[in-house]
Amino acid sequence: MVDLDWKAKIVSSNMPSKSPKLSNKLHVSVPGSFRAACQVQTDILAASDMSCSTYEHYLRLPELRQLWSSHDFPSWKNESVLKPALQALEITFRFVSTVLSDPRPYSNRREGKRRLESLTTSQIQLIAMLIEDDEEDSETRGMAPIVDLSTSNGELARDGSMAEVWSSGEHTVVSRISEASLLPRLATWHKSEGMAQKILYSIECEMRNCPYSLGLGEPNLAGKPNLDYDAVCKPSELHSLRKSPYDAHVDSYENQTVYATHQVLESWVHVCRELLKRVTSRIESRDFEKAASDCYMIERIWKLLAEIEDLHLLMDPADFLRLKNQLRIKTVDDTESFCFRSKALVEMTKLCKELRHKVPVILGVEVDPKGGPRIQEAAMRLYSEKKAGSDSDFGSENIHVLQALQAIESALKRFYYAYKQVLVVLMGSLEAKGNLVVVNPETCDSLSRIFLEPTYFPSLDAAKTFLGDSINHDIHGGDRRSRRTH
């Protein structure tokens, strides 16, 4: 006869006769499969040199890098950050023209317009934030190249831009509209007029706290000076790269979608790498307030990159798969995933992960060579004894940086998780897994390892876990004592 109570007997035989006392230590049971996943090599590697060079040639990245890295305004410290951001925006305007010119009757223009409007607004928001931070820094304030009557002695040169001057009460308002940018042209085309107007109003709204506007035809109701957009962005040179080297050999309209999408993505990756350099410098100089602002900017860029990749979901499946075969994009193994062909994206990921080494600097402690919980204890003290605005060396700014670092980790892992889902939709699950038929914790693909690996900040994670346990013990312990006294 089968003993139906065997589970109960096993449990009761292993239970202690007396209830154990509440321990101050937190005991966490870790499944063996998770421990195995944690032991998997988590270093992210770029694809083969051949795949990476082919990717760069396809997107004309060497020419784009020359535009990103040109220093035309030596006194403007943030040129290396704002220039590629503006160029990404300009490429998006070209992308709008491509989508609205699509001759295929089965293309999803409605959703394409909506997504491009959203993407454009997200980029404008980031550009506005970069400009605001630029003006808040005393070292960079007032260095951006702008155009107004005061800087030109009342004369406006007609060097490729349209200028309008009108009076508003006692003030003279100057609106200089770029002629090289595509946005003013989109505003005059019947297919894109409504969309362009929405973009112009987005510029007006998002730039309201900035000392100048972009000069792309936005209303400029505040009469602010305009950025010398054509001199900074160089739209003419940028649009000379509008065609892929493979256009003559590829017969697919989706080629322009893939081409423009990844040019926008690579431009923002370059912006992020410049910000990462600045974050490292600001943390080392203990300028934690500005470092936290840059870190949250990096988090937003990761989210923007995911939004850019989502544009692939609107491509026609048959047309994309045909393009994939024409371009000979083949995932031989899990390291050949298309995103790993971008050396800049791989480097950006590594730099974000390396920020974990800045935690001791933020906490003002050194790493214990014996592996003790020195960093964890310092983090617990900071979280529980913060003194905002005091004369103490540690305050809310330190917490803001630590929180921002963990926000970057969260956004980074979300990007790679979302990217894998995009691959599944585009190419099927087998291709997304790197042609691994069976996937388990010991042999999972490179994309999965990125978002499944343990936290980059174990000391901060442990500090919050034990601090929460301590607070919970204090609160509930106090409640029990008060009940006993009553």
Count other C-beta atoms under 10 Å from residue 296's C-beta: 18
How many domains is the chain built from? 2
> At which residue do the structure tokens 């923007």 appear?
304
pTM beyond 0.95, yes or no:
no
Above 80 in pLDDT, residue 30?
Answer: no
Residues 213 and 294 grouped into a single domain: no
Asked whether residue 437 carries a pLDDT value surpassing 70, the answer given is no
Share of the chain above pLDDT 70, in %: 78
Vertex 229: Cα angle to 225 and 232 (nearest 5):
120
Structure-model confidence comparison of residues 18 and 438, the more confident one = 438
- Whether the per-residue pLDDT at 192 is higher than 70: the answer is yes
Do 203 and 279 sit in the same domain of this protein? no
465 and 322 both lie in a single domain: yes
- DSSP letters spanning 111-138: HHHHHHHHHHHHHHHHHHHHHHHHHHST
Q: How far apart are CA 215 and CA 160, in angstroms?
A: 13
Evaluate whether 98 touches 267 at the Cβ level (below 8 Å). Answer: no
Domain identity same for 265 and 358: yes
Q: How far apart are CA 271 and CA 242, in angstroms?
A: 20
Q: Which pLDDT score is estimated for 69?
A: 93
More confident residue, 485 or 229: 229
Q: Are residues 172 and 262 in the same domain?
A: no
Bridge partners (DSSP) listed for residue 167: 172
Compute φ and ψ for 117, nearest 5 degrees. -60, -45
Note whether 261 and 376 are same-domain residues.
yes
CB 112 within 8 A of CB 315: no
Helix (H, G, I), strand (E, B) or coil at 359: helix
Q: What is the residue-averaged pLDDT of the chain? A: 83
CA 270/CA 267 separation, integer angstroms:
5
| pLDDT tens track for 89-109 | 999 999 999 999 999 999 999
Cα separation, 352 vs 410, in Å, equals: 11
484 part of a folded domain: no
pLDDT band at 249 (very low <50, low <70, confident <90, very high): confident
The answer to whether the CB of 302 falls within 8 A of the CB of 414 is yes
The answer to the question of residue 3 being in a domain is no
Q: Which pLDDT band, with edges at 50, 70 and 90, does 225 fall under?
A: very high
Is residue 336 in a domain?
Answer: yes
Domain end point (choices 179, 202, 236): 236
Task: Indicate if 209 and 250 belong to the same structural domain.
Answer: no
% of residues, the chain, pLDDT over 90: 60
283-340 per-position pLDDT tens digit? 999 999 999 999 999 999 999 999 999 999 999 999 999 999 988 887 666 566 788 9
| DSSP, res 154 | T
Structural domain of 255? 43-60+244-474
Give tens-digit pLDDT for 375-420. 999 999 999 886 544 445 567 899 999 999 999 999 999 999 999 9
The residue with greater pLDDT, 431 or 418, is 418
DSSP string, 43-95: ------HHHHHHHHHHHTHHHHHHHHH--S-TT-TTHHHHHHHHHHHHHHHHH
How much is the pLDDT for 390? 47
Tell me the H-state helices in 137-226. 183-186, 193-206
- 405 and 431 share a domain? yes
**Degrees to nearest 5, angle at CA 234 with 230 and 237:** 140
Condensed to tens digits (0 to 9), the pLDDT of residues 158-182 reads 444 455 555 555 555 556 789 899 9
